[in-house]
A and B are shown apart, each in its own frame.
Chain A
Amino acid sequence: MLLAFDFQLFFDQTMNGVSSGVVFASVALALVLIFRTTSILNFAQGEMALFSTFITYRLAADFDLPIGLAVLVSAVIAFVGGAVIERVLIRPVEDSNHPLNVVIVTLGMFLAINALAALIFIRPGQEALQMPALFPDGKWLGVQKEVIGFALVLVAECVILYLLLQKTKIGLALRAVASNPESSRLVGIHTGSMLMLGWGLAAVVGAVGGSLAAMQGTGFDTSLMQTVLVFGFAAAALGGFDSLIGAVVGGLIVGIANAWTVQYVDALDGIELVVPFALILVVLLVRPNGLFGRTIVERV
């Protein structure tokens, strides 16, 4: 046991937690975006993000794009890819009488996209790829610049999503489809386009999260997003699954809780994953709708 509490270590671990929390929050945001518009849990979200992460890497490594630009271009490609996946793979099997069909399709996509990414992007002999850093080394006010940069990316994602969803006509239409698809058609909204938009946005947020995830640690491979997806689900559940702000707060809580566990709880060495889930269990016992989930109020 430590006799004197090492505050610097505690602070550094907390900041580590924040930067992985940003990644979890991005994946959780993507999950919540799709869940709210289509009531689908997209198990392939992490692997879609992995695919985009490889695109980011190849744009930077093979085409010499600056890493910031590579992330942006990859995000645009992700948007198109997400929209196409909705139209081509999801919509044909969507059937309110058989909701499990879509779940099976997203599980199939999970495996297929992972295999496809390995086939396309991993060259023989390569094991771990090193994503260039988006933010410089060094500290600012005692905090790693990378942590500050990650946090700013998350803030930017939140502001853009908020403005889009709350302040534009298209955002209103998107929320209308999430609330009541039949009434949306009756007011003349093209619901299919809105579903494609929802999947496209989710893919963008996921792509950014994946690219950031690959910048942490030493090199990434096709397993990059698998634990991240589990943490992302945890973050979304903690936040209430239908709240974007809940996904962000949930992501940060899970990230920080995980970092503290790794540092301080030796007994859980190697199985730190149980901590966020214990946390979720407690939160959901006290608040079944999650921290920010809405209790459905409906009078008839």
Chain B
Amino acid sequence: MSLLSLREVRGGYGAITVLHGLSIEVNEGEVAVVLGANGAGKTTTLRAICGMLGRVGGEIFFDDHEITKSSTQAIARAGIAHVPQGRGTFTDLTVAENLRLGAINRKDGGVAADLDQWYSLFPRLAERRDQLAGSMSGGEQQMLAIARALMSRPRLLLLDEPSLGLAPLITKEVFDHLRQINEESGLAMLVVEQNATLALDIAHRGYVLETGSIVASGAAETLVADEGVRKAYLGF
């Protein structure tokens, strides 16, 4: 049974339809990646999942519950954490406050222990815990955004172009962290990316999105091996 399931999802902004009926599955423990060029509808897909799109058709199920019409905060509380494009940092709050906000709806006593865990994984955040988040570099803010999302102990992590605006070495570091987190905790992830090589490298399953429709999908290795798909959509 899949953890997240999009069935024939349509939607857009105002009169403009961006998504033309796409179906995506993410299983427990799996990293799925949606690849596509600018304007293909990658960000819109994630916004549709999180209830941030005014107009959505089709059905979205998370953990067997329909969330198509749920509010953004209800979807977050159900266990979907979203790292939006541009990272969504609370720039005028401190690093520590950003992380505590990730855990704001948790009632268990493990928040302090989780904070320590992410500080040890991302030492730069520990050093800067009392600084305003907006004063950090792009790479540090991306790490902060991921750590903040993980503070909610989500069951599914959505990442919108984690490589955007980052130097290649930093991007590599971000993806290495994502792989490590998935391998150690089995956290399911849905990553949308333009950087196909890096994203497919950590993914189990891949989708290729073109102008709001899925044009190719399959196991990550299969997609990489398929010369037709590679030439037409992945550019390598």
Contacts and interface: CB of A to CB of B under 8 A. Distances in A.
Contact of B138 (A182, A296, A300): A300
Interface stretch (A167-175, A201-209, A279-287): A167-175
Nearest to B93: A179
A189 B104 contact: yes
B76 A186 contact: yes
A44 B73 CA distance: 31
Given A175-B93, A176-B93, A298-B91, A185 B72 contact: yes
Contacts of A176: 90, 93, 97, 101, 104
B165 A187 contact: no
B229 interface: no
B36 to A, nearest CB: 22
Interface residues of B, number: 33
A164 to B, nearest CB: 15
Contacts of B50: 186
Contact of B77 (A172, A175, A184, A188): A188
Nearest to B84: A186
B35 to A, nearest CB: 23
A173 B91 contact: no
Nearest to A191: B73
A297 interface: yes
Contacts of A223: none
Interface in A225-253: none
Contact of A297 (B81, B89, B135, B165): B135
B104 A186 contact: no
A299 interface: yes
A299 B135 contact: yes
A190 interface: yes
A299 B138 contact: yes
Contacts of B81: 186-187
Given A185-B73, A187-B76, A187-B152, A172 B101 contact: yes
Contacts of A263: none
Interface in A110-148: none
A299 B91 CA distance: 9
Nearest to B83: A186
A294 interface: yes
The 4 closest A-B pairs by CB, nearest first: A188-B76, A183-B88, A185-B72, A298-B134
23 contacts: A169-B104, A172-B100, A173-B104, A175-B93, A179-B91, A179-B93, A180-B89, A180-B91, A182-B84, A183-B89, A184-B101, A185-B71, A186-B84, A187-B148, A188-B77, A189-B73, A189-B101, A296-B91, A297-B91, A298-B91, A299-B134, A299-B135, A300-B86
Interface of B: 50, 52, 71-73, 76-77, 81-82, 84, 86, 88-93, 97, 100-102, 104-105, 132, 134-138, 141, 148, 152, 165
Given A173-B101, A296-B91, A297-B132, 16 more contacts: A172-B97, A172-B104, A176-B93, A182-B84, A182-B88, A183-B88, A184-B101, A187-B152, A188-B76, A188-B105, A188-B152, A190-B73, A298-B91, A299-B141, A300-B86, A300-B165
